[in-house]
Amino acid sequence: MDGIGKSEATTLQKIAKFKCELTLEIDRLYNELLTNVDEVKKRLTKKAKSDISDIEIQRKVIVDISEQFEFLTKHGSESQLLMLFNTTRVAIAKQENDFQNLNSSYACSDITFLKESGIKSALNSLGSVGMKLVPCSITYTPHKHKQAQISPEYDKMPTKFKIKNECQVPYPDERISSIVTNKNRLLLCFFGDKCRAFSIWSGTGDHIQDCTLADYAWGMAIIPGTYEAVVTLPLIKSVQFVNITSLVPGKVLKVSDRCQGVAVIKNMIILGGIGKV
Domain of residue 198, CATH code: 2.120.10.30
Print the domain residue range for 60.
Answer: 2-111
Q: Which mean pLDDT values do the consecutive 10-residue runs of the chain (277 residues) have? A: 76 87 85 85 84 83 84 82 82 79 70 70 54 55 58 66 70 73 80 70 80 85 87 89 86 88 86 81
Residue 198 phi/psi, 5-degree rounding, is -115, 120
pLDDT at 234: 86
pLDDT at 165: 67
Whether 246 maps to a domain, the answer reads yes
Whether 152 maps to a domain, the answer reads no
Domain boundary among 111, 128, 158: 111
- DSSP per-residue codes, 185-236: EEEEEEESSS--EEEEEETTS-EEEEEE-SS----EEE-TTSSEEEEEEGGG
Tell me: do 182 and 82 sit in the same domain.
no
Tell me: do 181 and 95 sit in the same domain.
no
Whether 90 maps to a domain, the answer reads yes
Which of 157, 167, 163, 213 shows the shortest CA–CA distance to 190? 213
Whether 151 maps to a domain, the answer reads no
Which of 121, 131, 127 shows the shortest CA–CA distance to 16? 127
pLDDT at 241: 92
Whether 170 maps to a domain, the answer reads no
pLDDT at 154: 58
pLDDT at 30: 83
Rounded to 5 degrees, what angle do the CA atoms 167, 172, 174 make?
115
Which of 239, 258, 248 shows the shortest CA–CA distance to 200? 248
Domain boundary among 73, 93, 111: 111
Tell me: do 10 and 99 sit in the same domain.
yes
> Using CB atoms within 10 A of its CB, is residue 114 exposed (0-12), middle (13-18) or buried (19+)?
exposed
Dist CA 224 CA 264 (whole Å): 8
HSE, side-chain direction, 13 A CA sphere, residue 1: 0
Dist CA 248 CA 7 (whole Å): 49
| Ramachandran class of 127: left when φ > 0, alpha when ψ lies in -120 to 50, beta otherwise | left
Whether 9 maps to a domain, the answer reads yes
Domain boundary among 85, 111, 137: 111
Dist CA 188 CA 203 (whole Å): 12
Tell me: do 81 and 179 sit in the same domain.
no
Whether 260 maps to a domain, the answer reads yes
Tell me: do 7 and 106 sit in the same domain.
yes
Whether 65 maps to a domain, the answer reads yes
Into how many domains does the chain fold? 2
